[in-house]
Amino acid sequence: MGTLRQIELSDEMLVERASLGDERALGTLFHRHARYVAGVAFRLLGRDAEVDDVVQDTFLAAGQHLASLRSASAVRPWLARIAAREACRRINSRSRLRRFFEGVRVTSAPHSEPNSLHPVSELAHALDQLPAELRIPWVLHHVEGETLPAVASLARVSLATIKRRIAEADVRLGRRER
């Protein structure tokens, strides 16, 4: 009964309780937001076993740094920022990245033409060539649909920097598609 009651609590109340050491409140936050964090991690990393690790590391970091959360009502974007930082760390540590567009093959209709995946594969390859500082903002903005101010906040850089990075990624991707 206590768990059901906590599920009905707002994120603000759960953050407050979790920051005071209430493990059930942190668990409820995990159950409420883990799927979203996994989606962000998946789209940044691609179909990869590291997604589960990013989700775990995100919530471990969140549990340790709840005091740094300025507004408990912004827990979801805060978790996305942590997940993006974890994903960036992992992207930078490996030589090649299996792109998130590989997931399109898994979810595409079984009767689709093999050639219909060619543009997706080309884009995936082009994205793989971008450095993480360009790739992550591009994916967050163009795939996740995040606003430019939200992407700037997630990346902890200025709005002008995010605009430059996304524009640079657009230019590089445009050159590769020709």
pTM for the full predicted model: 0.56
Domain boundaries 100-178, corresponding CATH code: 1.10.10.10
Winning range, highest mean pLDDT, from 1-5, 47-51, 119-123, 152-156: 152-156
Rounded Cα gap, residues 170 and 12, in angstroms: 38
Which of 165, 169, 173 has its CA nearest to residue 119? 173
Q: Where are the domains of the chain?
A: 1-98, 100-178
Q: Compare 88 and 42 and report the one with higher pLDDT.
A: 42
CATH number for the domain formed by residue range(s) 1-98: 1.10.1740.10
Higher pLDDT, 44 or 165: 165
pLDDT digits (tens, 9 = 90+) for 11-34: 888 888 888 888 898 899 999 999
Long-range contacts of 7-11 (CB under 8 A, 24+ apart): 7/31, 7/32, 11/72, 11/73, 11/75, 11/76
**Residues 8, 11, 17, 23: what is their CA dihedral angle, to the nearest 10 degrees?**
80
Looking at residue 163, its pLDDT comes to: 94
Q: Identical fold at 1-98 and 100-178?
A: no
